[in-house]
């Protein structure tokens, strides 16, 4: 059995929404590009997992979400966190290990979180955040808050137990949660198809949980936005969870250590042609939006990233007294009297 990629639904996305989708995608693209440049300058320590090429998924969902909805994402989570409205400067400073970082240097690239904006965390153990996102949805359900929990994860996650435990629980409790698989074709360095029993790792398993298979073009912001509206709306109205598989591609390697030489050149070229940002720009122009207006968005995004970088670089190193802060709710780390 194999699921067919679903064609875009009637993409009657209005003009302000389209401009917002484009703006977000460009900002996320420029941020990730800048993060990469800062690695090359050796300013970003540790590791980092860029989502270059996957911007349409973050943008499509973020634009469709209510301000108090919850986002749960993975270590490849810069885009999802920023898309909810988190401070770009604070995110950049966190990558640089500065005291003005979003987490004061205690989380780093893989754990960006901004609860005020509904970005409930970036989780670095594959699969862990699916049950946690279900738990937030359970809380929303019993509090009758109308909030929806959206959980983004990679294709590799579909082969770990927590994926299946979370889906089963979400279905039996009819939780307001949307699971979005970003199938970027590779689990770390290995093609996902070579290690998975089905062709479409998420969509082909939906039926096992009584869910409709949803297999869509993750590089098309209109398609992602429509899918987001549909699945979030269903969850908010009490219709229970959805499982979405969005087909996409990492422009770079798994992490900073990975030059991604294992990918065939033709495959890379094919996907670069389907770059979600470039494609959407062309669509806006074809729809009659003035090139100057689109250029203005590009310029402002660059300026925003420049300003964020400058502010981040001005930050002092993370403060040493942070080490023993915030283990506990009293703000400290005491384990004895």
Partner 1 sequence: MAELSFREAIAAAIAQEMARDPMVYFIGEDVGAAGGVFKATVGLFERFGPERVRDTPISEQAIIGAAMGAAMTGLRPVAEIMFSDFLATCWDMVANQVAKTRYMTDGQVSLPLVIRTANGGGTRFGAQHSQSLENWGMSVPGLKVVAPSTPADAMGLLAAAIRDPDPVLFFEQKSLYGVKGEVPEGEHVDRLGSAKVLRSGKDCTIVALAAMVPRALRAAEKLEDLDIDATAVDVRSLVPLDTRTILGEIVKTGRLFTVEENPRLCGWGAEIASIAADECFDDLDGPIVRITTPHVPLPAADVLEDVAMPSVERIIETVRKSMR
For the residues of 110-148, what is the DSSP string, one character each? GG--BGGGTEEEEE-STTTHHHHHHHHHHHHHHHT----
CA atoms within 13 A on the CB side of 313: 12
Residue 120 makes contact with partner 1 by CB under 8 A: yes
Least Cβ distance, residue 165 to partner 1 (angstroms) = 4
Least Cβ distance, residue 268 to partner 1 (angstroms) = 33
Q: Which residues of 158-178 are buried (b: 16+ CB within 10 A; e: fewer)?
A: bbeebbbebbebbbebebbbb
Least Cβ distance, residue 134 to partner 1 (angstroms) = 5
What mask, x for binding partner 1 by CB under 8 A, covers residues 127 to 166?
A: xxxxxxxxxxxxxx-xx---x-x-----------xx--xx
Given CA atoms 77, 79, 80, 81 in this order, what sign does their dihedral have?
positive
Least Cβ distance, residue 208 to partner 1 (angstroms) = 14
Residue 24 makes contact with partner 1 by CB under 8 A: no
First to last CA, the chain: 61
What mask, x for binding partner 1 by CB under 8 A, covers residues 34 to 73?
A: ------------------------------------x-x-
Contact in structure between 134 and 177 (CB atoms under 8 Å): yes
Contact in structure between 224 and 218 (CB atoms under 8 Å): yes
| Residue 152 DSSP SS3 | strand
DSSP summary character for residue 334: -
Stretch binding partner 1 (CB under 8 A), from 11-19, 248-256, 295-303, 328-336: 328-336
Nearer to partner 1, 25 or 112 (CB): 112
Least Cβ distance, residue 3 to partner 1 (angstroms) = 25
Stretch binding partner 1 (CB under 8 A), from 101-109, 242-250, 266-274, 299-307: 101-109
Q: Which parts of this chain interact with partner 1 (CB under 8 A)?
A: 70, 72, 103-104, 106-107, 111, 113-116, 120-121, 123, 125, 127-140, 142-143, 147, 149, 161-162, 165-166, 168-169, 172-173, 322, 325-329, 331, 333-337
């Amino acid at each position: 059995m194999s699921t067919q990629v679903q064609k875009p639904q009637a993409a009657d996305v209005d003009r302000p929404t389209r401009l917002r989708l484009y703006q977000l995608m460009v900002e996320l693209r420029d941020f990730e590009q800048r993060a990469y440049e800062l690695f090359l300058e050796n300013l970003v320590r540790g590791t980092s997992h860029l989502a270059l090429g996957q911007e349409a998924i973050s943008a499509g969902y973020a634009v469709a979400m209510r301000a108090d909805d919850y986002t749960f994402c993975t270590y490849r989570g810069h885009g999802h966190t920023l898309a909810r409205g988190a401070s770009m400067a604070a995110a950049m400073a966190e990558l640089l290990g500065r005291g003005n970082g979003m987490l004061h240097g205690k989380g780093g690239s893989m754990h960006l979180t901004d609860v005020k904006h509904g970005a409930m965390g970036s989780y670095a153990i594959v699969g862990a955040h699916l049950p946690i996102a279900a738990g937030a949805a359970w809380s929303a359900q019993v509090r009758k808050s109308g909030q929806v929990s959206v959980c983004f994860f990679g294709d590799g996650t579909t082969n770990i137990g927590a994926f299946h435990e979370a889906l089963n629980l979400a279905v039996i409790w009819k939780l307001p949660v949307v699971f979005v698989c970003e199938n970027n074709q590779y689990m770390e360095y290995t093609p996902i198809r070579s290690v998975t029993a089905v062709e479409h790792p998420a969509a082909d398993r939906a039926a096992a949980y009584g869910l409709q298979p949803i297999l869509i073009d993750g590089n098309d912001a209109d398609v992602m936005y429509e899918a987001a509206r549909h699945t979030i709306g269903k969850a908010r109205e009490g219709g229970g969870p959805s499982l979405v598989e969005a087909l996409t591609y990492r422009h770079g390697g798994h992490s900073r250590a990975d030059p991604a030489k294992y990918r065939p050149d033709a495959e890379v070229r094919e996907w670069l042609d389907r770059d979600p940002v470039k494609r959407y720009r062309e669509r806006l122009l074809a729809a009659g939006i003035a090139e100057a207006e689109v250029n203005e968005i590009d310029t402002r995004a660059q300026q925003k990233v420049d300003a964020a970088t400058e502010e981040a670089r001005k930050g002092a190193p993370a403060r040493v007294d942070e080490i023993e802060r915030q283990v506990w709710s009293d703000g400290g780390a005491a384990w004895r009297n």
